């Protein structure tokens, strides 16, 4: 199979050969095309989409498979299903459903490189806790983590926690020794506690700027500390609601493109029509016509309903990021964090790399991104109808 388009990285028009699950020859050709070819997009934080909820009590392997296929339509070739703060029984139920989905469908297994567990060792304080239920917040427990891995059949690869717990250092070191990425998030930690976590092996700041108090001491505070820490990568929700455009621009400049990852942090209501919805964790929520999801009857955010291409389009609107830089934040950088570049040659478009590809158009007039084709392991899993 041959694909024609324009490489995002260097603006070169090419014919690209797909040999099975890998990229074969890439030939420079003269083409008049508006189709961009990018490495497959990777979203490291997805709670749900299109009505499918990773954390629902009734989550099944079939719903995880359906979720994966919906995300392919949004150009996402790989994602980390994100299991949030809940009882151990509920967490293990979600983990088991994801693991079974991967066993039943090889391509879904490829599209789920690992599972992200966000919590339950997060701050109990209003603000940093976000929409996570206070009743299930608890200290990090290595024995519990090991039980999660049994339920997940070893598929947990990313864990977000607040490092202010006395057990945090030992917990981070234990997970780090098992090659699990540890992220800081939903925290009210002091600067010293954040530094101790990074020294212990924490590598990522989860949705930096969110999961925070409404009002903070101007400095020092935990946002500045994570923003300035060069050993931490940072993920950002650029949906236009979680971070104001000026905040997104300033944070991205401070952290640097090379240390930044875009995420959707999408919840199950994402992709649905505006209206009122009941959610298993947040209760009643209202999806507004402008794409903002609020706890019903309040101005408080109840989650993100943007997909990764919408977040990419927004970062191009709000900042001085180039298209190639933006694409690296949704492909190369998350792939490097999860070591998919080294293990599976994902995250680049060169001969011999994985044929996980996202083909899209960028409408300069509207700023919208339109997904044309998604390939996973060299197979077309989504094709936009003309």
Per-residue pLDDT tens digits for 269-310: 999 999 999 887 768 999 999 999 998 988 888 899 999 999
Was 219 annotated as part of a binding site?
Answer: no
302-328 mean pLDDT: 96
User: Percent of the chain having pLDDT more than 70?
Assistant: 100
Which DSSP letter does residue 135 get?
A: G
317-330 mean pLDDT: 97
Was 97 annotated as part of a binding site?
Answer: no
pLDDT of 8 above 90:
yes
**Secondary structure class of 303 (helix, strand, coil):** strand
User: Percent of the chain having pLDDT more than 90?
Assistant: 95
pLDDT of 190 above 90:
yes
The reply to whether 265 belongs to the active site is: yes
Which DSSP letter does residue 89 get?
A: H
Dist. CA 291–CA 274, nearest whole Å: 8
317-332 mean pLDDT: 97
pLDDT confidence bin for 104, thresholds 50/70/90: very high
On average, the pLDDT of the chain sits at 96
DSSP string, 159-207: EEE-TTSTTHHHHHHHHHHTT-EEEE-S----HHHHHHHHHHT--EETT
**Secondary structure class of 134 (helix, strand, coil):** helix
- Is-contact 65 104, C-beta < 8 A? yes
Q: What's the token pair of residue 121?
A: 């060792």
pLDDT of residue 300: 84
pLDDT of residue 334: 98
Residue 231, judged by CB atoms within 10 A of its CB (0-12, 13-18, 19+), counts as exposed
Dist. CA 182–CA 179, nearest whole Å: 9
In the chain the domains, ranked by start, together with CATH numbers, are 41-345 (3.20.20.140)
pLDDT of residue 372: 98
Was 139 annotated as part of a binding site?
Answer: no
Which H or E run includes 38? strand 35-39
DSSP string, 236-302: EE-SSSSS-HHHHHHHHHHH-GGGEEEE--B-TTTTSPSEEEEETTTEEEEE-TTS-EEETTSS-EE
- List the one residue out of 80, 91, 84 whose CA is nearest residue 129: 84
Was 242 annotated as part of a binding site?
Answer: yes
CA angle 144, 148, 152 (to 5 degrees): 170
The bridge status of strand 35-39 relative to strand 41-46 is unpaired
Indicate which residue of 43, 53, 239, 265 is catalytic. Answer: 265
pLDDT of residue 251: 98
Which residues pair with residue 369 across a beta bridge?
Answer: 362
pLDDT of 24 above 80:
yes
pLDDT of residue 49: 98
CA 258 to chain centre: 16
Digit-coded pLDDT (tens) for 32-59: 999 999 999 999 999 999 999 999 999 9
327-355 mean pLDDT: 96
**Secondary structure class of 12 (helix, strand, coil):** coil
237-252 mean pLDDT: 97
Q: Is the dihedral of CA 252, 257, 259, 263 positive or negative?
A: positive
pLDDT of residue 364: 87
pLDDT of residue 283: 82
Tell me the CA distances in angstroms from 316 to 73, 185, 254, 255, 331, one per residue in order. Answer: 21, 25, 16, 16, 15
Was 118 annotated as part of a binding site?
Answer: yes
- Global confidence as pTM: 0.97
The residues, any chain, with a CB within 8 Å of residue 299's CB and separated by 6 or more, are none
Residue 285, judged by CB atoms within 10 A of its CB (0-12, 13-18, 19+), counts as buried
Digit-coded pLDDT (tens) for 140-165: 999 999 999 999 999 999 999 999 99
pLDDT of residue 66: 98
pLDDT of 386 above 80:
no
Was 136 annotated as part of a binding site?
Answer: no
The residues, any chain, with a CB within 8 Å of residue 119's CB and separated by 6 or more, are 84, 85, 86, 132, 136, 137, 160, 161, 186
DSSP string, 14-56: EEEEEETTEEEEEEE------EEEEEPEEEEEE-EETTEETT-
- Is-contact 76 116, C-beta < 8 A? no
233-247 mean pLDDT: 97
Was 303 annotated as part of a binding site?
Answer: yes
* Range name among 51-65, 160-174, 230-244, 270-284 with the lowest pLDDT average: 270-284
pLDDT of residue 64: 98
pLDDT of residue 343: 87
Asked, as a colleague might, if the bond just before 237 is cis with ω within 30 of 0, I would say no
């Amino acid at each position: 199979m041959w694909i024609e388009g324009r490489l995002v990285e260097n603006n070169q028009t090419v014919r690209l050969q797909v040999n099975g699950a890998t990229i074969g020859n890439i030939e420079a050709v003269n083409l008049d095309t508006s189709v961009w070819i990018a490495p497959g997009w990777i979203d490291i934080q997805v709670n749900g989409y299109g009505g499918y909820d990773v954390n629902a009590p009734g989550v099944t392997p079939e719903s995880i498979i359906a979720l994966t296929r919906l995300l392919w339509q949004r150009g996402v070739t790989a994602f980390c299903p994100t299991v949030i703060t809940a009882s151990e029984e509920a967490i293990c139920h979600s983990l088991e459903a994801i693991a079974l989905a991967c066993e039943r469908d090889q391509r879904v297994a490829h599209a789920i490189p690992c599972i992200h567990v966000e919590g339950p060792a997060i701050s109990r304080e209003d603000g940093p806790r976000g929409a996570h239920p206070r009743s299930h917040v608890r200290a990090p427990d290595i024995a519990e983590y090991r039980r999660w891995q049994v339920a997940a059949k070893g598929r947990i690869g990313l864990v977000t926690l607040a490092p202010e717990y006395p057990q945090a250092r030992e917990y981070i070191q234990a997970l780090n020794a098992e090659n699990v990425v540890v992220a800081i998030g939903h925290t009210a930690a002091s600067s010293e506690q954040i530094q101790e976590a990074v020294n212990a092996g924490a590598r990522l700041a989860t949705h930096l700027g969110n999961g925070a108090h409404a009002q903070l001491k101007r400095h020092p505070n935990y946002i500045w500390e994570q923003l300035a820490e060069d050993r931490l990568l940072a993920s950002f929700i650029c949906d236009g609601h979680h971070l104001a455009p000026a905040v997104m621009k300033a944070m991205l400049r401070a952290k640097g493109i090379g240390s930044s990852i875009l995420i959707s942090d999408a919840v199950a209501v994402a992709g649905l029509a505006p209206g009122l919805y009941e959610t298993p964790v947040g209760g009643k929520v209202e999806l507004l016509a402008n794409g903002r999801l609020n706890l019903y009857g309040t101005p408080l955010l109840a989650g993100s309903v943007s997909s990764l291409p919408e977040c990419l389009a927004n970062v191009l609107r709000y900042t001085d990021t180039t298209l190639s830089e933006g694409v690296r934040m949704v492909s190369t950088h998350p792939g490097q964090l999860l070591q998919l570049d080294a293990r599976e040659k994902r995250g680049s478009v060169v001969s011999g790399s994985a044929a996980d590809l996202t083909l899209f158009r960028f409408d300069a007039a509207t700023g919208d991104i339109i997904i044309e084709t998604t390939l996973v392991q060299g197979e077309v899993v989504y094709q936009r109808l003309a």
